Amino acid sequence: MKSILVTGGAGFIGSHTCLTLLENGFEIFVFDSYINSSKKSLKNIIKILKKNNKDLESNLHLFKGDLKNVRNIEAIFQAALKKNKAIEAVIHFAGLKSVKESIVYPCSYWDNNVTGTINLLKIMEKYNCRNIVYSSSATVYKVKSNKLLNEKDECEPVNPYGQTKLTIENFLKDIFNSASSEWRIACLRYFNPAGAHKSGLIGESPLGKPNNLYPQITKVALGKMSEIKIFGSNWPTPDGTGVRDYIHVSDLAEGHLLALNYLLNNKPQILTLNLGTGKGTSVLEFIRIFERINNVKVPFSFSKRRDGDNAIVVANNSLAKSILKWIPKRNIEDICKSGWNWQLKNPNGFNK
C-alpha cells in the first residue's frame, strides 16, 4: 500500500481527495494546521467509508502542524519511516487561498504559501521523495480574451494570491530541472471548485463571510445572507454577468488520483494541467439553475464590478483529458444539488 502525504488534507478539496485516495487503496498522512479547515472533515470521511462498509481508519494518519516549521514536516516523514511506510508522494494543498485577503496581507500569503512550499521540498529531497502533485489555480493566467484558456497561455497574476501560485510553479520547474531524471511533478490549475460530496458529510466550509460566489448562493438560499450582490451587469457576455468554469469538487478529487497514479507509473517529468469542465456558466445562469434544481429563491441585486475580475474564465481541458484520461463526470446541476444538500445538513459548515 503506497503512503501519500496530503498537506491541507482537512480542507475543501483536500478532504474530498483524501476520501478518493482511501477508496483507492492508499495510506494517507494528513498534515494540516486547521487555521482554515476542521478535523471534522476527516472524521466524516471515515463515516462515509464506514457507510460503504469500508473500515479504513487505520489507513488515515493525522498530523497537526505548520509548513513554516520544517520540524513539523520532518516529523511526518520520520513517523512514516518508523511505521515502515515511507512517504512515496505528496499532494500539496496547504496554503492560503483568498484573493481579497492576499491583497491586504501579502506577507502572510508569501510566507505561508511560498516559504511553506520551500520547506516542504527541502524535506522531500532529504527523504528522497520526488513525486508531487501541486494545487495551483487559474488565477495565474493573464485573461485577455474570451477564448478557452490553455496551459501555454500567458500567465500574469493580478493579485498576491495568484503571484504565489505562479511563483511556486516556477520554483517546482527549478526543482525538476535540478534533477530531471528523478522528479515527477504535476501542477494542477483549478478553475472554480464548487459542490460537495454526494453524502452531504463533507463540503466547503469557509470561515466567516465567503468570498466566492457559490458558498454565498447556498447561504442566501438558507437565509443566512440577505442577497447576492452581482459584480457587474455589463460584461461582454450573453447576459452581462461574469462567466466561470465551475468544476465539481469530486471531479477535482478524481483528477488528483489520476495525476498521482500517472506520476507513479510513468517516467520522471513535469506537467501543468487545467482542471476545468471547458463549459462556462454566468452568475445569473448559476442562480437560476440553483433556484430551479432546489426549488428555492436566491435574491440578488447588481453592483459595480469587482477589481481584478474578468468577463470569462473557462478552461481548455484537453491536455488533462489526453494525458490523464480525466473526464469530468458532474455538471452545474450536480454542483447545485450536492452543494445545497451539504448546506442543508450543515448550516454552519464545520464551524460552531
Which ranges in 39-159 belong to alpha helices (H)?
40-51, 70-82, 99-104, 106-109, 116-126
Instruction: Check residue 146 for interaction with ligand WQD (CB under 6 A).
Output: no
The CB-of-334 to ligand WQD minimum distance in angstroms stands at 18
Cα four-point dihedral sign 43, 18, 188, 252: negative
β-strands 281-282, 27-32 pairing: unpaired
> Beta partners for 31?
7, 63
Contact 39, 187 (CB under 8 A): no
101 binds ligand WQD (CB under 6 A): no
234 CB neighbour count, 10 Å cutoff: 10
Q: Report residue 26 as a C-alpha cell.
A: 492508499
Q: Looking at beta carbons, which residue is closest to ligand WQD? A: 242
**198 vs 202: CA distance, rounded Å:** 9
C-alpha cell at 320: 488533462
What cell does 56 get?
479504513
Comparing CB distances to ligand WQD, the nearer of 228 and 324 is 228
Angle between helices 283-294 and 213-222 (to 10 degrees): 40
Query: Considering CB under 6 A, how many residues would be counted as binding ligand WQD?
Result: 20
| Near ligand WQD by CB under 6 A: residue from 41, 216, 272, 281 | 216
Name the minimum Å distance from CB 192 to ligand WQD: 5
Residues 81-100 that bind ligand WQD (CB under 6 A): 97, 99
Our answer to whether residue 141 is catalytic in this structure is no
- Sheet containing 312-313, strands listed edge to edge, beginning at the edge strand earlier in sequence: 281-282, 243-244, 312-313
Closest CB to ligand WQD among 71 and 209?
209
Q: How far is the CB of 173 from ligand WQD (least distance, A)?
A: 20
Nearer to ligand WQD, 228 or 249 (CB): 228
Q: How many alpha carbons lie under 13 Å from residue 163 in its C-beta half-sphere?
A: 12
Instruction: Report the residue from 31, 190, 290, 340 that binds ligand WQD according to the rule CB under 6 A.
Output: 190
- Encoded one letter per residue, x for contact with ligand WQD by CB under 6 A and - for no contact, window 234-253 reads --------x-x---------
Answer yes or no: are the C-beta atoms of 94 and 32 closer than 8 Å: yes
User: Judged by CB under 6 A, does residue 102 bind ligand WQD?
Assistant: no
Kindly state the smallest distance separating residue 72's Cβ from ligand WQD, in Å.
24
The active-site residue out of 109, 127, 141, 161 is 161
CB closer to ligand WQD, 26 vs 235: 235
In angstroms, the CA 29 to CA 101 distance is: 29
**Interface positions, 276-335, toward ligand WQD (CB under 6 A):** 283, 306, 309, 313
Least distance in angstroms from the C-beta of 58 to ligand WQD: 33
* DSSP SS3 for 175: helix
- Report if residue 229 touches ligand WQD, rule: CB under 6 A: yes
For residue 90, the surrounding DSSP H or E stretch is strand 87-92
Cβ at position 299, least distance to ligand WQD in Å: 13
Tell whether residue 231 is a contact of ligand WQD (CB under 6 A): yes
Q: Which residues bind ligand WQD (CB under 6 A)?
A: 97, 99, 137, 139, 190, 192, 211-213, 216, 228-231, 242, 244, 283, 306, 309, 313
Active site residues: 161
